Amino acid sequence: MSFGTAEYQERIYKTKKSMAEKGIEVLLITDPANMNYLSGYDGWSFYVHQMLIVINDEDQPIWIGRGQDANGAKATSWLYHENLIPYSDEYVQSDSKHPMDFVADILKQIGQDKRSIGVEMDNYYFTAKCYEQLKKGLPNASFKDATLLVNWVRLVKSDAEITYMKRAAEIVENAMMKGIGLINEGVRECDVAAEIFHTQIKGTKDFGGDYPAIVPLLPSGEKTSTPHLTWTDDRYKKGDSVILELAGCYRRYHSPLARTVNIGPPSDKLKNLSDVVVEGLNACLDMIKPGIACEEIEETWRKTIHKSGIVKESRLGYAMGLNYPPDWGEHTASIRKGDRTILQPNMTFHLIPGIWLDQYGFEASESFRVTANGCEAFASMPRQLFIKDGVLETNMN
């Protein structure tokens, strides 16, 4: 297990408290990060249907998954083996049977079929078919939307979780410096991506890395006008700028980081944009502390960069930590206008004030935790535009 039993039990307690507030007696969890958070289960099995069932008057959850994954649940979770219930392969990607039919039958067998049942409606891993089969199999139950219920419980991290994220930060620093060091004229994008992957998984001499929820994002040239492109087998050209958005991952806990590098002297437009973004990023980090709302961070950013005339349409950041593909974000608090979430110590965010214009862009980001009287960036790298002909000696962290 990644954590002691007492920590898992505390998470279950907080989840049940939230369930009670929402009138939910039985919670069906399909998000693999939420399953991991409450049970410790960790496997690449989320391509088939699986579930964790939390019942308000039962001490332990019930894991339901594919038969061949049951031993994985025994190996990684804190649950009693009798609480691990596998379904046979005839339910896997079948036209005649669905895993939610099996789940419904289990709930009927244990007398939970007439209760208030919460499901994660807006979830990558819970399909419309899942919902229809559950309703069909449990006609006497009342269903409620429990989307993000566990995600909000996850918002404030334990000290042990913070330790994992700090280890992830060490990994992402190594991966970022490896990528920046390799990017140069004539080098293939895919070769840089391969070395970044190797560094992410290898970790450090003291601890290894895990696979991040998002692959390295490496747009180059005019493709830096958009944030979510990966890599090709093209070769970098002199004058290209390259955005690197990566994460270190340790035991499924992430620490994302973004930086931008230019091959040769940058254009005045890119240099000016980098100055604006870094100034705004630093101003935000300087004012973050417990008790303020997420939207106050965005307001600081907006006021700081106002004189530049640049406007950022997208959010400035988001809560993040434990996750599986396709995202390291927690889908809860966002750093943007209108989000009144109040910061508390050990909340963790990715602050990423990227600007993407028509033909170029710039990113510099920090993952941070809220401390007792401020904030702490997980990584320790210069916040600047990196230049392969010599590092720009401004905006140093």
The domain locations on the chain are 5-153, 159-396
Q: Is the pLDDT of residue 392 over 80?
A: no
Q: Is the pLDDT of residue 95 over 80?
A: yes
Q: Is the pLDDT of residue 340 over 60?
A: yes
Burial class of residue 84, CB neighbours in 10 A (0-12, 13-18, 19+):
buried
Where residue 133 falls among pLDDT bands split at 50, 70, 90?
very high
The arithmetic mean of pLDDT across residues 122-150, rounded, is 98
Q: Is the pLDDT of residue 391 over 80?
A: no
User: How far apart are the C-alpha atoms of 379 and 377, rounded to whole Å?
Assistant: 6
Class of domain 159-396: alpha beta
Q: The whole model's pTM is what?
A: 0.95
Among the listed residues 383, 363, 396, 379, the one whose alpha carbon sits nearest the alpha carbon of residue 245: 363
Among the listed residues 218, 118, 207, the one whose alpha carbon sits nearest the alpha carbon of residue 167: 207
User: How far apart are the C-alpha atoms of 377 and 374, rounded to whole Å?
Assistant: 10
Predicted confidence at residue 396, as pLDDT, reads 37
Distance of CA 329 to the CA centre of its chain: 3
Q: What is the pLDDT of residues 218-229, one digit of tens each?
A: 999 999 999 999
Question: What values do phi and psi take at 382, rounded to 5?
Answer: -55, 140
The two structure tokens encoding residue 233: 């087998």
Instruction: Judge if 5-153 and 159-396 fold alike in CATH terms.
Output: no
* CATH domain 5-153 topology: Creatine Amidinohydrolase; Chain A, domain 1 (3.40.350)
The arithmetic mean of pLDDT across residues 301-323, rounded, is 96
Q: Is the pLDDT of residue 249 over 80?
A: yes
Instruction: Please state, rounded to an integer, the average pLDDT across all residues of the chain.
Output: 96
Question: What values do phi and psi take at 283, rounded to 5?
Answer: -60, -40
The arithmetic mean of pLDDT across residues 34-45, rounded, is 98
User: How far apart are the C-alpha atoms of 327 and 56, rounded to whole Å?
Assistant: 29
Q: Are 284 and 295 in contact (CB under 8 A)?
A: no
What's the number of CA atoms in the CB half-sphere (13 Å) around residue 282?
14
SS3 category, 113: coil
Among the listed residues 378, 370, 299, 366, the one whose alpha carbon sits nearest the alpha carbon of residue 335: 299
The arithmetic mean of pLDDT across residues 120-145, rounded, is 98
Predicted confidence at residue 397, as pLDDT, reads 40
Whether omega for the bond prior to residue 326 falls within 30 degrees of 0, making it cis, is yes
